[in-house]
Structure 1
């Protein structure tokens, strides 16, 4: 089964002098391309918890992703130790899991999940009037396209980023291992089948043909996850739940004693009390002991669940996360999330940073939106470099767009796509994607600098 799910195949095969690419060589090539990719480097200036924080000890998205990568490796090693030796190439398995973990946040916009909310709010207010100005009346298909554009999500953007924008040409298994929520919008306007995980947007309409090709090649039924996604998801949950609270203490949002009291109040179970007591007495310090002990137990639990539910996970239909359930360590993980929500994310210090990000992100989107209000013939003039006097402002904004994103736009509109009922809707859909690609790819600091420039500050 793993031979089908983890093949040495790509959408665009590599031309190799020695002939067919081995699986290990294929995943090593993926690994090299991913580590060197610009979206991974940009994670060092994207927020984990505290936007625009310059303190080196506080985690960025990059340091968080490196921790997720290491946790994914630990889970994989435990799983591989229990599988038959000939079930799967162990180094390829580990390569795919580690790189899925490293890439899992690359599609997040500036200011993380808060940025997703800001973009969603702006789209809800501006999408319809901008479409009406540029296109006019929509076809019967427009509600489907509208719903797709309204639901900007970092998970779906990750697949678009690595394949459609940066053209990393990763193996099919590596691409599928990124798709945390594989349900898609159906042509009837609803969500396609899924198997129990949160119904977030997993695949944009623009990447549906790509995911259909992945699913067919890998034998994934509609709405079914690739098995390695479960490992990536568990590694992410383990890493961020502990790290967010550690960073809050480091940033002096909470004192260590306040945190211990909050954890003790929220979870009175024996496991939590023993963990807090042992960590308080540990010679290496509270957080190193707390983090290592809990991580070890959660890694073991994730591996045990993967192996116990192996058949359903291989089919992609297991309806839960690996760490769901009532195991003591899993309950502690939920407690950490609860305490972070109540004691960290709603603090004035954090919300003040988010308000700054809110103004910057909305300001940039609103300024660039004039490119979306143009009728297609006028936008084509910008593409051709012949904008007239009436486009004096739009032309200057157009020149700031990324060449990589413009290339993806040109390729998407070069030929009629039979999935679209109207050519004008195809063009405008990808023009909106162009803006969302550009803004979501900005780092926290860059979007603030862009806002200041556009505002004349």
Structure 2
């Protein structure tokens, strides 16, 4: 029997009224994903450089669209070599939609925003918990560890399933998970433990995914490897192209460094792209991607059985071959010479102030005992009126998820701790879902500078 028949399924946690084939269900997923608000919000999240009216540099949305197209090309390249009967359309769609969604859980200002949120959580949560709840149960250290590890991949799963309620197929949700460790679990020497892949709030969902796809207990869902490779391929050249477009890096600087430091393969690709002629970056990117598509598909098929079994231990591009090494050089150069530029760091400083400021402004909501938090609508004193106005700024969708989960979510030993856990998640869902411009505007409003 084809293993892909056991991996590409139309099964959902909440089945619809009508029977769906796997392809019908995955096509329905596609429609839900493309039209969902988290994807739309990516247009106002920065990829590397501040968003501006010029609109030629990449946002998270345009980056994700490029990743999606690269993922499609990888899927098409792999399919002829898969010696099993596979629903080709469903295979391609799962890869494409995993690529489109790979960044939806990222907070404002991307990975820098993650660092800011984690720093705030580590410094503020212990004292806020003591004020609101007091003494923790024996389970609390695990729950606190979970709350203090914000991660974009884990937030993507939470956002799509627990907040948006898209009810995607288990196959599509599985394809999104780059890491297998829960944020509440200690990192071990096992596969794909580098970062948390889900939060305690989605523990039940992940258990059901693993029950359906046993190989994901110890490793990745196979198509996740293609999504990861597509992401790496998409931003390898793109960040440098945007840097040149914004004038923070010249082609001459890049050329000088590349011709003196890079491998012979990359030098050859640079010269073949003819830097002096219009459309250089497009030719340069296409030349490298053509070779990377062949390399990634070759690696996927070479390690096919181990990938299907969930035991392949490294990314498809982690090989000592010239195109992969060239891509790594381009990424390293961008980190050295672009991400440390004044313009990028200025954006990060703005993000630091705004994210910390918004989190700190809402922190008093976490200091309240549960009864006081749920009765804010009745408060008439001055402090209560301020807190009530903060409460009113929280999105209704997120508040509904908080009310549902704080009353009934499983695996919690203490009702008080469950309520406070989901109150923290409520704030993190709100802040991490903001666009860059939204968090800056919210910060200005809270500081009294609106208008």
TM over 0.5: yes
Structure 1 unaligned segments of length 5 or more: list them: none
For 1:410 and 1:281, the matched residues in 2 are separated by 58
- Give the 3-state SS of the residue equivalent to 1:408 in structure 2: helix
Query: By how many angstroms is 1:194 displaced?
Result: 3.3
Contact 2:182 2:199 in 1 (8 A): yes
Contact 1:141 1:421 in 2 (8 A): yes
Query: By how many angstroms is 1:337 displaced?
Result: 1.2
Query: By how many angstroms is 1:173 displaced?
Result: 0.4
Query: By how many angstroms is 1:320 displaced?
Result: 0.4
- TM-score, structure 2 as length reference: 0.96
Residue 2 of structure 1: aligned partner: 4
Task: Tell whether 2:329 aligns with 1:329.
Answer: no
Residue 404 of structure 2: aligned partner: 411
Query: By how many angstroms is 1:286 displaced?
Result: 2.1
* Change in 2 beyond 3 A, CA 1:307/1:112: same
For 2:51 and 2:356, the matched residues in 1 are separated by 17
Structure-to-structure mapping, 1:46-85, within 5 angstroms: 46-84=45-83
Residue 98 of structure 1: aligned partner: 96
Of the three residues 337, 346, 353, the one matched with 1:352 is: 346
Of the three residues 422, 431, 434, the one matched with 1:442 is: 434
Of the three residues 375, 390, 409, the one matched with 2:369 is: 375
Task: Tell whether 2:337 aligns with 1:343.
Answer: yes
- Give the 3-state SS of the residue equivalent to 1:202 in structure 2: strand
Query: By how many angstroms is 1:328 displaced?
Result: 0.2
Query: By how many angstroms is 1:51 displaced?
Result: 3.1
Task: Tell whether 2:233 aligns with 1:238.
Answer: yes
Structure-to-structure mapping, 1:21-420, within 5 angstroms: 21-84=20-83, 87-185=85-183, 189-191=185-187, 194-195=190-191, 197=192, 199-267=194-262, 269-280=263-274, 283-382=277-376, 385-389=377-381, 390-415=383-408, 417=410, 419-420=411-412
Structure 1 stretches (4+) deviating beyond 6 angstroms?
A: none
Count of aligned residue pairs for this structure pair: 446
Residue 428 of structure 1: aligned partner: 420
Contact 2:45 2:436 in 1 (8 A): yes
For 2:259 and 2:369, the matched residues in 1 are separated by 60
CA RMSD of aligned residues (A): 1.4
Contact 1:42 1:443 in 2 (8 A): yes
* Change in 2 beyond 3 A, CA 1:281/1:424: closer
For 2:395 and 2:357, the matched residues in 1 are separated by 18
For 2:213 and 2:42, the matched residues in 1 are separated by 30
Structure 2 unaligned segments of length 5 or more: list them: none
Contact 1:51 1:111 in 2 (8 A): no
Query: By how many angstroms is 1:115 displaced?
Result: 0.4
1:267-316 deviations in whole A, cap 9, x for unaligned? Answer: 2x220121121123575532111100011111111111000000011112
Query: By how many angstroms is 1:323 displaced?
Result: 0.5
1:111-161 deviations in whole A, cap 9, x for unaligned? Answer: 000100110111111111111111111122121111111110000000000
For 1:359 and 1:54, the matched residues in 2 are separated by 23
* Change in 2 beyond 3 A, CA 1:281/1:392: closer
